[in-house]
Structure 1
Amino acid sequence: MASPSPNLRGAALMSASMAAFTLNDAFMKGLAGEVPLFQAILIRGVAVCAVLVPVAWWRGALRLPGGGDALFVLLRTAAEIGAAFLFISALFRMPLANATAILQALPLTITLAGALFLGERVGWRRWTAIGVGFLGVLVMIRPGTEGFDRWSLYALGAVACVTLRDVATRRIGAGVPSLTVATAAAVGVTAWAGIMTLAGRDWSPVGGPAAWQLAGAVAAIMAAYLLSVATMRAGDVSFVAPFRYTGLVWALLLGLLLFGEWPDGRTLLGAGIVVASGLYTLVREARTGRRMPRAGPDLRGLRPR
């Protein structure tokens, strides 16, 4: 039997990565009301660092780079901290699919940031797609209506932080190991959560279902990271990238099965507009010369830690 093509393998890996990221989100959401926010982030972060730090030390990547690269690594870590706090705060208080749907605006915001801050060329078609996509976001969050709350703004804030993270990542020199960047972010998020936990003196005993959910979140996020790395090495980016939107399908299914949630019609309409705009943007990027022979930096995890 013939082995699958690199594109099909890349699509399968991307879909599995999005499933793992969404499963992590579901586990974290399940902790709402059981474990304080910062404690949950701290415990998960300690477990992730317990894996990443020894591997980084073994590979000689446990060091901060010099010069301007250090500044961008620190900026990326700060953006990671903001994204983790804002997205998990939103996740604790709004439906899983709604938070995930807002996150689907990331390809649009990253394209916008690339044009504004990195000098990347964006034609009128992609500018139009970005504008239409942002209209879709407005349809979802409904500012000025009864369906609007501040947690939607938290989710949007997470989108802004992940966009900043992506811009900072692109400014880091190619000589800086990816493992160094990932470890710095994981340690930064964990240290910040520890400081916030101590400052708030908010700690609850963890046992029973909460302990299993935290273990599930750790396993899911580690699997997501590994699958993301594998995705970068398989398939053409123009073929693989659209499969990141399978995360929304997983969020709909898990939200319904685990929490009895289903978005209303306006949220689904807005999500559809955002996804369609994002898909068009990805296709245009592939056609206008931003495509890469293999999945690269643009396919890095779009999820906050």
Structure 2
Amino acid sequence: MPSSSPSSASGNLRACLFMLVAMAGFVVNDTCTKLAIADVTAPQIMAIRSLFTVALLLAVAGLRGELHSPRRLAHPVLALRTLADIGATITYIVALGHMPLANASAIFQALPLVMTIGAALFFGEPVGWRRWLAIAVGFVGVVVIVRPGAEGFTVYSILVLLCVLCSAARDLLTRRLPGRMPSLLISAVTAGAVSVSGWLLTPAWGWQPVLARDYAIFATASVAIAVGYVCVVEAMRCGDIGFVSPFRYAILVFAIGMGLLVFGDIPDPTTLLGAAIVVGSGGYSIYRERVRGRPISAGRAQVH
């Protein structure tokens, strides 16, 4: 957990760099996922990529001596969190296969707003009228991006919104996990469950031949997402979370850049306008928490 004392300037600088690397890692993972889904099914991606991720996380956890007490992971909240993460993974992967990377990332930026609502409803955290107004404005931005009834609207936009809800549930449940659980093992358990779910779903979706390039993509994605997880944790630990959290929105810049370079996708002005509204409202919510002197929890600070 982050310290309640103010962080030093050097600590905040390191934390910002960690957060930027984390967001870049998540975008690399999303790009790899979008590339792979052109060849294989969503469950195959879940199964193989997550298997690589589990191996990597367990190796790191072993080097850090965190594999001695696996019984610490026996907790019902962890089971619920894992189910939420499985839902978030499959909805986002399927959506990525049918919509531009930048559009999916833009819709996903509604997560901090949903987290604020969840914290108020389930944890009783106070939310003033200014932040409720910011939340309302943020959802206007989501509507602008999704454009219900417009030609560009598809069911895959709804899947990203479902992913946001699952991700919010996952992060809210994370705050209920006992502190004795190592974060690396929590991530490894989740990745393992996602992999098993992928293998179980594969017969229903069908098995497509996995090319050599796909294994290279999965390996790259597993490293990228593991780096993202680790860097987010480091960012939360060495910097003031209220200062660092706005740097999460750098994921939009990275997503737009990767979408343009790899897929030739250029976001239309309406999508950029909606994204600006969502980012602005989320940034204002973070600002209000700092003004009121309440630290923002690490669970709520995660995006992906």
TM-score, length of structure 2 as denominator length? 0.91
Q: Distance in 2 between matches of 1:90 and 1:34?
A: 15
Contact 1:232 1:297 in 2 (8 A): no
Q: Please, which runs of 5 or more residues in structure 2 have no aligned partner?
A: 1-7
Q: What's 1:159 paired with?
A: 164
Moved more, 33-42 or 108-117: 33-42
Residue pair 1:64, 1:180 contacting (<8 A) in 2 also = no
Worse-superposed segment, 16-25 or 47-56: 47-56
**Aligned-residue CA RMSD (Å):** 1.8
The answer as to 2:57 corresponding to 1:52 is yes
Correspondence for 1:63: 71
Q: For residues 222-258 of structure 1, give each alpha carbon's deviation from its aligned partner in whole angstroms, at most 9, with x where no partner exists.
A: 2112212221222111111000000000000000010
Cα distance between partner residues in 2 of 1:56 and 1:7:
26
Choose from 254, 265, 288 the match for 2:258. 254
| 1:187/1:127 CA distance change after superposition, 3 Å | same
After superposition, the Cα gap between the structure-2 partners of 1:196 and 1:284, relative to the gap in structure 1 and judged at 3 Å, is same
Secondary structure in 1 matching 2:293: coil
Matched residues in 2 for 1:50 and 1:4: separation? Answer: 36
Q: 2:149 aligns with which of 144, 166, 169?
A: 144
Distance 2:9 2:242 in 1: 17
The alpha-carbon distance between structure 1 residues 256 and 241, as it changes in their structure 2 partners (threshold 3 A), is same
Between the two proteins, what is the percent identity of the paired residues? Answer: 44
The equivalent of 2:40 in structure 1 is 35
Partner of 2:5: none
When residues 16 and 160 of structure 1 are mapped into structure 2, their CA distance, relative to the original with a 3 A threshold, is: same
Q: Aligned to 1:121, which of 126, 137, 149?
A: 126
The Cα offsets for residues 81-122 of structure 1, whole Å up to 9 and x where unpaired, read as 000000111111100000000111111110110001111000
Counterpart position of 1:81: 86
Letter in 1 for 2:70: L
Report how far residue 175 of structure 1 moved: 3.0
Counterparts of 2:196 and 2:81, CA distance in 1: 15
> Which stretches in structure 1 are left out of the alignment for 5+ residues?
none
The residue type paired with residue 10 of structure 2 is: S
Q: Which structure 2 residues correspond to residues 202-281 of structure 1 after superposition, within 5 A? A: 202-281=206-285
**CA distance in structure 2 between the aligned counterparts of 1:107 and 1:100, rounded to whole angstroms:** 13
Q: TM-score, normalised by structure 1?
A: 0.91
4+ long deviations beyond 4 Å: 54-58
Please state how far the C-alpha of 1:54 moved relative to its aligned partner.
4.9
Q: How far apart in 2 are the matches of 1:19 and 1:242?
A: 15
CA distance in 2, matches of 1:157, 1:33: 22
